[in-house]
Structure 1
Amino acid sequence: MSAQVPIIDFSRFTTGDAAARQEVAKEIVNAFRTYGFVHFINHPVTPSAISLTFRQSKLFFDLPISSKSKAPHPPGFTVHRGYSHPGLEKISNLTASTNGSTNGTATNGTDKAAVELARQVPDIKESYDIGSEHNTEQPNVWPPPNLIPGFRGFMTGFYWTLAEFAREILRALALGIGLDEEHLLKIYENGEYNQLRLLHYPEVDARILEEGRAVRIPAHCDWSAFTMLFQDDCGGLEIESPTTPGKFIAVEPIEHACLVNIGDLMARWSNDFLKSTCHRVGMPPLLQNRCAGDKRTTRSRYSIGYFVTTPPDAVIECLPSCVDESRPAKYAPVTQREYNISKASMSYN
């Protein structure tokens, strides 16, 4: 079963008058309140830029692991950049207790036991993470220039293209929940703390996934304010049903569309007015017979994610339009840094 995630023409917001922008903003917020997801078409990112980014991504992941490993994800979880080989990262909904600490060291034994249990079923994916060149807390780890000439410059440009698109989405969200259009941008600043992620799901024997010995990505909610995602045509993304908790339904990819979903920070920010929906990457719908006999091999899958967030020391607390006497604040204020540590520490050893 496929999810009928709403499809919204984003050009109606970027080119419309004040009344049209307000109308589209309400549509966007209603979609997020129901599904947590929305497809944007006719958005500011050109089809050629998207296609070129997928091409650059494939060039990187086609390199031998010895070459990709020349841009390694740093040890631990405090810096989330560079190349992560299959099995290094484990996505989950587990959250460590930081006890107010901001140094990323405070996890308890129960947390660690849960992580080790989760790691017994590895994620079969590889990723490459990129941030702003101005974010000194999270310095980029680039492959040597000779491996893919122009890769660094191209990805840096694409990062900032998405940062500008994210600003427009934040304007729409602010209008849609009854705030001044610029309200969320005061905390977002200029997008220096976002994260661009290239993802590749290698071909794998279908039985490994069917028997639960490994997964693509298990069910989880994103840590960010929201995520912008571009998919290839492979399929496999599933979201939790808005009407039947625990049931997951497929989201069909739309060429050049940007699929956006609310993350946990925005859910906290909006006092759950906007919905952070669990999602996962499961078995793709199409299999390719690569070997003789009954062995079935899944298709290789590529996607591009962009995680939109605030500066590390920004305090995330309920927005004024999302809390009143009938809707008291559900969450205590938290800094982006504290929340990010609580999640990242559970994904990497």
Structure 2
Amino acid sequence: MSNIPIVDFSAWNSSDTSARLRVAKELVKASKEVGFVYIVNHALPDALLDEAFDWSRRFFALSQEDKFKAPHPKGWAVHRGYSWPGLEKVSQAMSEENDEERIEKLREVTDYKESYDIGSDENKDQPNQWIPEDLLPEFRVFMTRFYWECFGAASDIMRALAVGIGLDDEEHLVKRHSGHNNQLRLLHYPPIPAGTLESEAMSRMPAHTDWSSMTMLFQDDCGGLEVEDPSQPGTFIPATPVKNAIIMNVGDLLQRWSNDYLRSTNHRVGLPRLSDRFTGASRMTRERYSIPYFLAPDPTTLIECLPACTNRDNPAKYEPITQGDYNRMRASMQY
């Protein structure tokens, strides 16, 4: 394994108050010390996750022409639909004046991945870009159901975090997330020569933090996800795949809400560390699939320090900001 903690979530939905509190405290401890945690025995059935990966593989197996029938809209404002390799550039940069030179510099190294982003059909500010039904029948039906199943699981985790932080209301954080501003992302990393990544001619996904409240990630068995070691900044440890576990990580907004009590940790996707992840003389990497689910509050929600996370000796470190404004600073640098 790695230095990333594992939390058994099975007791959270029990009637045992002390067991629920133990789960909450373990979750917050991991979120405070590492910012990442494996969650096992959660609410999402193995069969549902297996089906989600099956649909993802079927989507990315479509021809490029068919995938382009649901393209990511131009610009950064709408984050939906199919993004082809090179369209998106993940970074930690936030927008400011005279960004053109910074953007050009960031894009010197291409992120070699493709993705498909889905949200709530009721979010008119982020309209979904569905592929035609006849190309992949029942894809839309399943992904819509999966989106809301993930929101249910994420809401339970947010309740546990609220209890673990010490908030009086278990629903405090959930009330600020209607579910309509979340993002379900299907990710595919095509095979690429290992040398291309080692020479940094291309990347899979550079080090970054997530700009949501919280992320739930599901990954296949390929490997490649790495998390910055909080005890050794700049050093990354592998997030070894654990089948059907949720890898939960704290996002920037939850770090701001908690006044840095919870940690939004840098992470990246690079070369798998095991030799059996490569094939042939050119050491081609295996293709990799992952499915992150980003939980975000509604755009007008004000992110300001939680009452349990500040006192006279520990004043609020951040000015209040809406989700919409924070999202704008990050997204405008990415597309």
TM-score, normalisation: structure 1 = 0.93
In the TM superposition, residue 192 of structure 1 has moved relative to its aligned partner by 1.1
Q: Which runs of 5+ in 2 are unaligned?
A: none
Alpha-carbon distance in structure 1 between the residues aligned to 2:209 and 2:282: 33
Alpha-carbon distance in structure 1 between the residues aligned to 2:155 and 2:106: 35
Structure 2 residue 11 is matched with structure 1 residue 28: no
**Match for residue 318 of structure 2?**
331
**Match for residue 44 of structure 2?**
45
**Match for residue 54 of structure 1?**
53
User: 173, 178, 182: which one pairs with 1:184?
Assistant: 173
**C-alpha contact 2:222 2:277 (8 A) present in aligned 1:** no
User: 182, 191, 212: which one pairs with 1:224?
Assistant: 212
Matched ranges for 1:86-235 at <5 A: 86-97=85-96, 108-109=97-98, 111-179=99-167, 180-188=169-177, 190-235=178-223
1:88-142: CA deviations, max 9, x gaps?
0000000113xxxxxxxxxx21x32222111000101000000011111101000
Identity of aligned residues (%): 52
Alpha-carbon distance in structure 1 between the residues aligned to 2:263 and 2:59: 34
**Match for residue 295 of structure 1?**
282
**C-alpha contact 2:83 2:114 (8 A) present in aligned 1:** yes
In the TM superposition, residue 16 of structure 1 has moved relative to its aligned partner by 4.3
Q: How many pairs does the alignment contain? A: 332
In the TM superposition, residue 340 of structure 1 has moved relative to its aligned partner by 0.4
**Match for residue 264 of structure 1?**
252
Alpha-carbon distance in structure 2 between the residues aligned to 1:289 and 1:157: 36
Q: 1:3 to 1:16 in 2, by over 3 A?
A: farther
In the TM superposition, residue 20 of structure 1 has moved relative to its aligned partner by 1.5
Alpha-carbon distance in structure 2 between the residues aligned to 1:295 and 1:182: 52
**Match for residue 78 of structure 1?**
77
In the TM superposition, residue 157 of structure 1 has moved relative to its aligned partner by 0.1
Alpha-carbon distance in structure 2 between the residues aligned to 1:27 and 1:257: 16
**C-alpha contact 2:279 2:286 (8 A) present in aligned 1:** no
- What amino acid maps onto 1:138 in structure 2? Q
**Match for residue 226 of structure 2?**
238
Alpha-carbon distance in structure 2 between the residues aligned to 1:23 and 1:41: 15
Alpha-carbon distance in structure 2 between the residues aligned to 1:152 and 1:299: 28
User: 312, 318, 321: which one pairs with 2:305?
Assistant: 318
RMSD after superposition: 1.0
In the TM superposition, residue 12 of structure 1 has moved relative to its aligned partner by 1.2
In the TM superposition, residue 288 of structure 1 has moved relative to its aligned partner by 3.1
What secondary structure does 2:332 align onto? helix
Alpha-carbon distance in structure 1 between the residues aligned to 2:292 and 2:306: 26
Alpha-carbon distance in structure 2 between the residues aligned to 1:41 and 1:287: 25
- What amino acid maps onto 1:122 in structure 2? T
Alpha-carbon distance in structure 2 between the residues aligned to 1:114 and 1:327: 35
Alpha-carbon distance in structure 1 between the residues aligned to 2:187 and 2:193: 19
What secondary structure does 1:326 align onto? coil
- What amino acid maps onto 2:303 in structure 1? I
Alpha-carbon distance in structure 2 between the residues aligned to 1:209 and 1:165: 35
What secondary structure does 1:90 align onto? coil
Alpha-carbon distance in structure 2 between the residues aligned to 1:16 and 1:25: 14
Alpha-carbon distance in structure 2 between the residues aligned to 1:130 and 1:31: 29
- What amino acid maps onto 1:299 in structure 2? R
Q: Which runs of 5+ in 1 are unaligned?
A: 98-107
TM-score, normalisation: structure 2 = 0.97
Alpha-carbon distance in structure 2 between the residues aligned to 1:23 and 1:207: 46
